[in-house]
Amino acid sequence: MKRTGLIALIVMMLCCLPANAQLGGLIRKGKQAVDKAKEVKEKVDEEVKKANGDVDFYYMDAHRGFYSARNRKIVFDDLHKTGERTGKNVIYTIEKNGDVKFDDGTKVGEVLAGGVVNCHSTAPYLTLADNGDVVMDNEVIGHIDDEGNVTFDGVPMGKAPGIDKQIAAYIYFGILFDKAGIAQARATIKEERARAEQERKQAEEARLRAQEEQAKKAPTQGTQATTSKSKSSSGSGSTTTAPKVKEWTIEKGGKRGYVDANGVVYDWSHKKIGQLPKSGSGDIKNGSGSTIGRISSGDIYDRSGKKVATVTSGGSISVPGSNATVAEVHAGGRIDTKDSKTLGYCDARPYVWAVAIIYCDFFNF
């Protein structure tokens, strides 16, 4: 009896195997069909977006939505959590007369001629200047360049390539932020910059202390040799030492270095990595002495002889093909682009040295 039951069980299992295999095949085919349908839908959605003139915008690196030029709609990825539109995208529509309507039909702002943007019951709330500056309460708080890069107080904020700058200003500074949020963010940025400057000063003080300690530990015979040389050169019994060459700190993108009054460029460990012309005009050389550029009367050229920048005596920087200022050397050697992005620090003189180091990046800082 037991043997008969065992045989029956084996037969049943063998009969089930093809069925299970067939079921697995159906599941795989079903999954492939779903994936294919998803792929087709994504392609269709992409084509529809192109037809509508839809352009994506990002906050920092996160996708936040798109603007439909044909429908004049700002469509956010955010969904309504309550009400009749629960689960649907948050949408703002810009009417032809400049009124901005929320998706419940309420007027919430205006986008008017002259770069004026009104919202949050404030008129004018902000103004977009012709050069892309975002002005609020008579102060520049941000900038939108021709590539759609949005900066806030010099800090990268997002990207809206292809979207009208005035509409982008409304999105970033009128929807994603209000005045209270802007004030808070600016205060945070100010604190961070002050902290970074304090850390920079402390690091510089520590470096100078380390140099002094190293000088104190110098071998006695070295000191005697220097003293003897000084005596013989002065022709008297007094001891003199050569004055220490002035140095300026270089900071860019987390890297540090130094440049002295003779135009010698050092990395963070004080290893020589280059030479700038002492007179302010002449060849720019790397650490091995090879010419990598040239400076002539405020004009900076690369190793091929192509002009890459021009620096005025006041520190304004322009590039070939335009006399417009693209960046400037400010107090303390801070070099900012026109959209207030800080490239780095180098308080060297002449200004053309700082520009060759920071803006033109001849020494890979």
Is residue 21 in some structural domain? Answer: no
Domain boundary among 185, 216, 237: 185
47-98 pLDDT, tens per residue? 556 556 789 999 988 999 999 988 999 999 999 999 999 999 999 999 999 9
> 89 is in which domain, residue-wise?
55-185
Domain boundary among 151, 185, 219: 185
**pLDDT value at 112 more than 60:** yes
CB atoms within 10 A of CB 354: 26
CA distance 42 to 48: 10
Is residue 262 in some structural domain? Answer: yes
Is residue 34 in some structural domain? Answer: no
**pLDDT value at 26 more than 70:** no
Percent pLDDT > 70 in the chain is 79
Is residue 238 in some structural domain? Answer: no
**Location of structure tokens 């990598």:** 292
Residue 197 pLDDT: 84
Whether residue 65 sits in one domain with residue 181: yes
Q: How many CA atoms lie within 13 A of 240 on its CB side?
A: 11
Taking all residues of the chain, what is their mean pLDDT, rounded to a whole number? 84
Query: Using a CB cutoff of 8 Å and minimum separation of 24, what contacts does 128-131 make?
Result: 128/165, 128/166, 128/169, 131/338
Residue 209 pLDDT: 85
Whether residue 267 sits in one domain with residue 180: no
**357 band by pLDDT with thresholds 50, 70 and 90:** very high
Is residue 48 in some structural domain? Answer: no
Whether residue 176 sits in one domain with residue 83: yes
CA distance 57 to 74: 10
Is residue 256 in some structural domain? Answer: yes
Is residue 230 in some structural domain? Answer: no
Q: How far is CA 281 from the centre of its chain?
A: 32
Domain boundary among 170, 185, 200: 185
Residue 125 pLDDT: 96
Q: Is the CA virtual torsion 294, 299, 300, 304 positive or negative?
A: negative
**Is 303 in contact with 274 (CB distance < 8 Å)?**
no
Whether residue 177 sits in one domain with residue 260: no
Whether residue 172 sits in one domain with residue 77: yes
Domains of the chain: total: 2
CA distance 251 to 268: 10
